Amino acid sequence: MKFREIYCNNCKKILGRYNTKYYDNEKISEILKSNHSLHIKKGHQVIIRDFFKE
């Protein structure tokens, strides 16, 4: 299964993992803006990367 992982480089923390089957890029960036905006406001480097799980 393929996931998109939202990761904060400053907090060294995974903020969320979303199955690409149910979440497209648009949905994930919406989640990023609404749920994790605090990190962005603080100037943290938040990245979205691929994550694979069997």
> How far is CA 42 from each of CA 4, 6, 8, rounded to the nearest angstrom?
22, 16, 11
φ, ψ (nearest 5 deg) of residue 52: -115, 140
Q: Least distance to Zn ion from the beta carbon of 48, Å? A: 14
Please identify which residue in 5, 16, 23, 44 interacts with Zn ion, judged by CB under 5 A. Answer: 44
The least distance separating Zn ion from the CB of residue 28, rounded to whole angstroms, comes to 17
Q: Binding of Zn ion at residue 9 (CB under 5 A)? A: no
11 forms part of the interface with Zn ion (CB under 5 A): yes
Q: How far apart are CA 12 and CA 24, in angstroms?
A: 24
- Residues contributing to the site for Zn ion (CB under 5 A): 8, 10-11, 39, 44
